[in-house]
Amino acid sequence: MTIQTGQQSAASPGPPPQMRPALAALREQPIPATSKGFGRFGAGVTAATATANGTTADGTPADGTPADGTITSAGLAERRPYLLGPDFMLPVLVLREAALRQNITAMAGYCASAGVGLAPHGKTTMAPQIIARQLAAGAWGMTAATIAQVRVFRAFGVPRVLIANELADRGGIEWLAAELTADPGFECYAYVDSAAGVTLLDGLLRAAGARRPLPVLVELGQPGGRTGCRSIDEALAIARIVRSTSSLRLAGAAGFEGNINAGSAAATVTAVAAFCRELRTLGDLLPVDPAGTPHIVSAGGSAYFDIVAGELTAVRAGRRRPEVLLRSGAYVTHDHGLYAAIGPGPGRPGRTGPALMPAFELWAPVLSRPEPGIAVASAGRRDVGFDQGMPVPIRIRHADGLETPAGRLLVTKLDDQHAHLSVPAESPLAPGDLICLGISHPCTTFDKWRVIPVVDEEYRVIEAIHTFF
């Protein structure tokens, strides 16, 4: 197995052939009227709404939707409706096409330069249309956290998946064994971190009639952390147990550095680097694969992937460099909060990384100015992630169409459907004005939307991204 790095050429045929039929069907899938933001022209509009809208001479509703009220991603690309016109209902989350494209291209180029492979974590988006773009840009495969996520990937033809987790669910393991048997071209990897876990996985795979060994990575963790062996010696012992089974194949080592917190930014970077050196040492000490296949060594969330790449690819005397695989996911949209503050990138002292752009924007109307210095907007915890910081006001679009910077506006609290904002006394912000909000931590914003419009630089909607959480 050889890890692919870098971008495909301009002549690239695009996503894997296995994905194309399902992607084509998704492009033509009707967008329900019940999808947030799409109520004016989604599939299934009510008879009363259709009557109120009126129709043109050819029977098409006056707002330009097809006669049956449906709209699709393909239809949006053809019509290119204006996001902030009457067609969409606010609040609405959007992806900026230019930033999405820039981030996918930049990360692919970075991995090529660093000599590492990329298996983007699909849990970030759970969006096959975005996953297809990542694979077309040269990604090795996709990372999943659960069998349920793998099933979504497989429904859309993703050919290679790394499950960055241990497997202990009988139904899930039996499904995986059947999927591997049904499609000899499907590659899947998983984690192990204990003798009990290895015994359980091996037994269930054998009972399910698995016809080829499942490649597994021994996971190294940290004391007080999440899963993973707590020492190199423990991990090596688990590797020996894997080698003694008939249904598993030792494929390398893995870990996750993103939950390390040493109290300060500098101390955390130092601790992350030390953990990565331990992980590399584990990879160096693993028994050689009998077939001569190089081991994978994998880590790399979205905050410290530059440190991971540097430490895991470092030259070590007498040691063969492993096949290094990053699993970053949030890079695809970046953000205005968490990753903008701690991720690598140009201008970050001591850090190197691709130039990433925030791709998410949440547009919401101002509902009320109930007190001086306070405004309330129509967007809340049901619309945007808040686990790693509040949304960030970017700019205001006033009722007359004029846009101004958000200035000192600040989101102080979120209710289910409301954002509380601190407003400077001199601000002319008024009900009906629109606020453009950036987000922090895209993973917990994607999962709040089933259909997300994609806009060009003129805020014309050119596509709709479907998510499957």
The residue among 450, 382, 456, 442 whose CA lies nearest residue 417 is 382
Report whether pLDDT(45) > 90: no
Report whether pLDDT(47) > 70: no
Residue 182 φ/ψ, nearest 5 degrees:
-70, -30
> So what's the pLDDT on residue 426?
86
Report whether pLDDT(53) > 90: no
> So what's the pLDDT on residue 48?
53
CATH topology of domain 360-466: Lyase, Ornithine Decarboxylase; Chain A, domain 1 (2.40.37)
pLDDT in tens, 235-267: 999 999 999 999 999 999 999 999 999 999 999
CATH superfamily of 141-327: Alanine racemase (3.20.20.10)
Taking residues 109-117, what's their average pLDDT? 97
Written as six digits, the tokens of 35 are 């999808």
> So what's the pLDDT on residue 6?
45
> So what's the pLDDT on residue 25?
97
Specify the range with the lowest mean pLDDT, choosing from 53-67, 78-92, 145-159, 329-343: 53-67
pLDDT in tens, 203-235: 999 999 999 999 999 999 999 999 999 999 999
Torsion of CA 331, 333, 335, 341, to 10 degrees: 10
> So what's the pLDDT on residue 10?
45
> So what's the pLDDT on residue 57?
37
> So what's the pLDDT on residue 73?
97
List the beta bridge partners of residue 250. 216
Percent above pLDDT 90 for the chain:
85
What confidence tier does 44 reach under pLDDT thresholds 50, 70, 90?
A: low
In order of 89, 152, 156, 211, the CA distances from 182 in angstroms are 44, 16, 15, 10
In order of 179, 259, 329, 437, 466, the CA distances from 463 in angstroms are 32, 35, 21, 21, 10
Written as six digits, the tokens of 14 are 């695009």
> So what's the pLDDT on residue 42?
60
What's the CA gap between 247 and 206, in Å, rounded?
6
Structural domain boundaries in the chain: 141-327, 360-466
> So what's the pLDDT on residue 218?
98
The residue among 59, 28, 29, 65 whose CA lies nearest residue 45 is 65
Taking residues 284-296, what's their average pLDDT? 93
**H-helix or E-strand containing 201?**
helix 195-207
pLDDT in tens, 170-193: 999 999 999 999 999 999 999 999
What confidence tier does 66 reach under pLDDT thresholds 50, 70, 90?
A: low
Taking residues 133-145, what's their average pLDDT? 98
Taking residues 62-85, what's their average pLDDT? 80
> So what's the pLDDT on residue 442?
96
What's the CA gap between 274 and 240, in Å, rounded?
25
Report whether pLDDT(61) > 50: no
Report whether pLDDT(64) > 80: no
What's the CA gap between 100 and 127, in Å, rounded?
13
The residue among 52, 74, 75 whose CA lies nearest residue 64 is 75
